[in-house]
């Protein structure tokens, strides 16, 4: 039965004439966030939808394509057995996609400091180019040591599906330097250690900045930040290039685990082409801003 699912999905997509990116956009309009990589893996049989939000996406695809309800979902069969690898992947499941690639890139990099830092504040400043792509992201952190001795932060970035991880660059800007860096060979995912100049004392705060640039970006429709741990304050700012403004901008939130996406009211773009959202008491999950182009 699962073999029939990916074949039926691939045939339905081909018959529709939609690209995977357009299908992702149609799903996003319904408040369902699925990456192009996930859609591609589903139709190839490399993975299959099992989480509640993924099953919602399958039902929405049936509706988008005018198919009878359950004509695809009935082909999924029973859930796969849970094991050691799926337990590892659940740390990233429902945060950012593709979760398998995230686990493969991040897990070998995790160390004692990972659980000893609390995010006091975090700010992402995203610049969208005239080509409608995310060109750069500048991130500023203030963290607090919740135990003795943390000396690094693990930075993770997932670019648009279709981007080569070799085209993603990370630069240490202030109060940190780059340690180990891993690039996923098959997905647009990088993970890098940002090393502090010393070990922090319990209760001590530390600020640091880093930036991401993408050399050959793909057209973007949103920016999302995944939180594995709670954060006190998060600010997300997006600036659009002079000649390119989206037709609609909205915020969205997904609280882990496996919760549906909550789409907020439309956001206002200022005269300086900025849009932002600010959140307190952030829970593990996803906070983002999405936009639509003509």
3-state secondary structure of 4: helix
DSSP state at residue 35: -
pLDDT at 101: 67
- Where are the domains positioned within the chain? 2-80, 111-292
DSSP state at residue 71: T
Beta-carbon contacts of residue 84 (< 8 Å; ≥ 6 apart)? none
- Of 1.10.260, 1.10.3470, 3.90.1570, 1.10.10, which CATH number belongs to 2-80? 1.10.260
| 277 vs 287: CA distance, rounded Å | 9
Report the DSSP beta bridge partners of residue 155: 192
Where b means 16+ CB within 10 Å and e means fewer, 64-82 reads bbebeeeebeebbeeeeee
pLDDT at 47: 75
CB 271 within 8 A of CB 209: no
| 294 vs 200: CA distance, rounded Å | 49
Each residue's pLDDT tens digit in the chain (294 positions)?
A: 445 888 899 999 999 999 999 999 999 888 888 888 888 888 887 777 876 677 888 888 998 998 887 788 888 765 544 333 233 333 444 455 545 666 777 777 777 787 889 999 999 999 999 999 999 999 999 999 999 999 999 999 988 877 888 899 999 999 999 999 988 887 788 999 999 999 999 999 999 999 999 987 788 889 999 888 889 999 999 999 988 899 989 998 877 555 556 777 789 999 899 999 999 999 888 899 999 888
Number of neighbours of residue 282 by Cβ within 10 angstroms: 19
Q: Which of 38, 40, 31, 85 is nearest to 60 (CA)?
A: 31
| 279 vs 93: CA distance, rounded Å | 22
Query: How far separated are the first and last CA of the chain, in Å rounded?
Result: 39
Q: In this structure, what token pair is assigned to residue 208?
A: 């640091």
Where b means 16+ CB within 10 Å and e means fewer, 92-118 reads bbbbbbbbbbbbbbbeebeeebeebbb
pLDDT at 240: 96
DSSP, residue by residue, 148-172:
S---EEEEEEE--TT--GGGEEEEE
pTM of the model: 0.67
Number of neighbours of residue 242 by Cβ within 10 angstroms: 7
- CATH fold for domain 111-292: Immunoglobulin-like (2.60.40)
Q: Which of 290, 222, 284 is nearest to 254 (CA)?
A: 284
pLDDT at 205: 95
Give me the helix-helix angle, 52-64 and 2-16, nearest 10°: 40
């Amino acid at each position: 039965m699962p073999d029939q699912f990916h074949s039926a999905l691939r045939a339905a997509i081909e018959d529709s004439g939609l690209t995977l990116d357009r299908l992702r956009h149609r799903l996003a309009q319904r408040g369902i966030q699925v990456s192009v990589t996930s859609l591609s893996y589903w139709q190839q049989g490399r993975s299959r939808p099992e989480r509640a939000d993924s099953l919602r996406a399958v039902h929405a695809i049936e509706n988008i394509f005018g198919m009878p309800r359950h004509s695809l979902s009935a082909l999924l069969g029973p859930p796969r057995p849970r094991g050691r690898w799926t337990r590892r992947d659940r740390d990233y499941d429902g945060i950012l996609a593709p979760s398998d690639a995230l686990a493969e890139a991040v897990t070998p990099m995790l160390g004692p400091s990972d659980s000893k830092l609390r995010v006091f504040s975090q700010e992402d400043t995203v610049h969208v180019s005239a080509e409608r792509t995310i060109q750069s992201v500048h991130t500023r952190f203030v963290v607090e040591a919740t135990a003795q001795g943390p000396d690094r932060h693990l930075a993770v970035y997932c670019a648009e599906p279709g981007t080569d991880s070799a085209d993603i660059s990370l630069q240490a800007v202030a109060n940190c330097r780059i340690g180990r860096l891993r690039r996923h060979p098959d997905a647009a995912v990088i993970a890098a250690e940002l090393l502090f100049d010393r070990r922090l004392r319990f209760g001590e705060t530390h600020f640091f900045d880093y930036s991401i640039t993408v050399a050959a970006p793909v057209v973007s429709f949103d920016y999302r930040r995944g939180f594995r741990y709670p954060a006190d304050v998060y600010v997300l700012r997006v600036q659009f290039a002079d000649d390119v403004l989206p037709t609609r901008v909205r915020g969205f939130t997904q609280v882990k685990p496996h919760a549906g996406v909550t789409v907020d009211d439309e956001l206002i773009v200022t005269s300086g082409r900025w849009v932002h959202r600010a959140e307190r008491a952030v829970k593990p999950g996803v906070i983002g801003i999405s936009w639509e182009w003509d």
